[in-house]
Amino acid sequence: MDLSDYAALDALEFEADIVVNNAGLQHVAAVEEFPPERFSQILWIMLEAPFRLVQKALPGMYEKGWGRVINVSSLHGLRASPYKSAYVAAKHGLEGFSKTVALEGGPKGVTSNCICPAYVRTPLVENQISDQAQTHGIPEDEVVEKIMLTETSIKRLVEPGEVAEMTAFLCSPAASFINGASLTMDGGWSAR
């Protein structure tokens, strides 16, 4: 569904054993140049909408005594980068929200965790290459190497399938005691 459609989100009724919040959008600009309406939109889609979806799912999860909330955060939920104020703020907020759900839901059989990948090979990442090039004053063909991979020790983008596998693992019995965690998939970036 279109998470920017407030009315549709509020009218949504559903039951789910697993909720995966994976929406993301990006705008690259210095804080003083960042359009306030874009900042609000990013926070709505990446923080407010996940709250509303989880809020609707929790009663059914609690009734069953089992549920999984998986928030696809980002390494930017743990570390900041310049020119990404809204994205970083939304992901930091998602991290805090996820931990709150973990504390409230754990005694009721519901776990809540974040997956924190570095740059994932998705349209979101590919679509920001030109903005990153312009902001940093470098050619587009240098953005991945000089901006996106500078902090990782494994010099490649994360593949979407790797994030999907981590998501599936968090729903498995082997992960039943993982709760309130922020699991990095960052090629060593956060080891710095």
User: Catalytic residues, which ones?
Assistant: 87
Q: Taking the C-alpha atoms of 38, 43, 49 and 51 in order, what is their torsion angle to the nearest 10 degrees?
A: -170
**Cα 91 to Cα 142: distance, rounded to the nearest angstrom:** 26
- For the chain, give the number of residues: 192
Segment (H or E) for 102:
helix 85-105
Segment (H or E) for 63:
helix 49-64
| Tokens matching residue 22 | 């994976």
